[in-house]
């Protein structure tokens, strides 16, 4: 191959006489591998496209997890995400940490259309702090309406919320899903595990 333009050298032809000491070389041509399939331009994320087409019929649920630092301040933003972002609105569960919720904040103020709210508030006097912590789940009503709260735990070392969801569609292996949200405060110095 020529270094300048990358083209192939011309083939060497054999000499006519038997006394010639020239080597016979074959001409090399570039061969292209046969393409068995071809992606159309802009269609390279086939797995993601198929997953989005399936919607709520996926094998495992899609869950969004976020650390919000005050949920009441972000309800308008969450409402906008559920209307404009298809991946966000098709999530079966939204799990939020550090919602800073207390008994003074009603559920109607935190309502997202099409979602059920399950929250775990703690008592400020028992925890020794007025804000921080707390968690909640928003469960998509198109995925599941049969949801039960199994347990709420709240102590100075950790906070946890356990819920059981029985969705409309699930594979035979899964009759229900137990979703667990655990929050360990950053100032916790004890080793729990």
Residue closest to 125 by CA, chosen among 160, 151, 154: 154
136: in domain: yes
Residue 19 lies in a domain: no
Model-level pTM?
0.68
Three-class secondary structure of residue 126 per DSSP: helix
- What CATH number did the domain enclosing 139 receive? 3.60.10.10
Q: What mean pLDDT comes out for the span 15-19?
A: 56
What is the 3-state secondary structure of 43-102? Answer: CCCHHHHHHHHHCCCCCCCCEEEEECCCCHHHHHHHHHHHHHCHHHHCCCEEEEECCCCC
Q: Is residue 44, in this structure, part of any structural domain at all?
A: no
- The two tokens of residue 167 are 């969705």
**Taken in order 137, 142, 143, 147, is the CA torsion positive or negative?**
positive
If one counts every other C-beta atom within 10 angstroms of the C-beta of residue 131, the result is 13
Determine the number of helices (DSSP H) and then strands (DSSP E) in the chain: 4, 7
Residue 27 covered by a domain: no
Question: Would 26 be classed as within a structural domain?
Answer: no
Question: Domain range holding 77?
Answer: 60-183
- For the chain, the domain total comes to 1
Distance CA 86, CA 52 (A): 9
Residue 80 lies in a domain: yes
| 60-88: average pLDDT | 91
If one compares 59 and 9, the residue with the highest pLDDT of the two is: 59
The model's pLDDT over 86-135, given as tens digits with 9 standing for 90+, comes to: 888 889 999 999 998 888 899 999 999 999 999 998 666 655 666 667 89
Residue 38 lies in a domain: no
Q: Please indicate, yes or no, if residue 16 is contained in any of the structural domains.
A: no
């Amino acid at each position: 191959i020529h270094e300048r333009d990358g083209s192939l050298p011309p083939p060497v032809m054999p000499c006519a006489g038997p006394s010639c000491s020239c080597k016979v070389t074959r001409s090399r041509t570039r061969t292209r591998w046969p393409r068995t399939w071809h992606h159309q331009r802009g269609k390279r994320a086939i797995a993601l496209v198929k997953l989005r087409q399936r919607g709520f019929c996926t094998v495992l649920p899609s869950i969004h997890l976020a650390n919000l630092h005050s949920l009441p301040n972000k309800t308008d933003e969450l409402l906008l995400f559920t209307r404009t972002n298809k991946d966000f609105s098709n999530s079966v569960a939204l799990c939020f940490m550090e919602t800073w919720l207390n008994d003074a904040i009603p559920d109607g103020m935190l309502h997202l259309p099409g979602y059920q709210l399950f929250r775990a508030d703690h008592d400020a006097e028992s925890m020794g702090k007025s804000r921080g912590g707390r968690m909640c789940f928003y469960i998509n009503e198109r995925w599941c309406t049969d949801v039960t709260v199994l347990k709420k735990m709240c102590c100075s070392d950790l906070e946890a919320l356990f819920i059981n969801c029985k969705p409309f569609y699930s594979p035979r292996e899964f009759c229900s899903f137990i979703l667990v949200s655990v929050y360990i405060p950053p100032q916790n110095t004890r080793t729990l595990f």
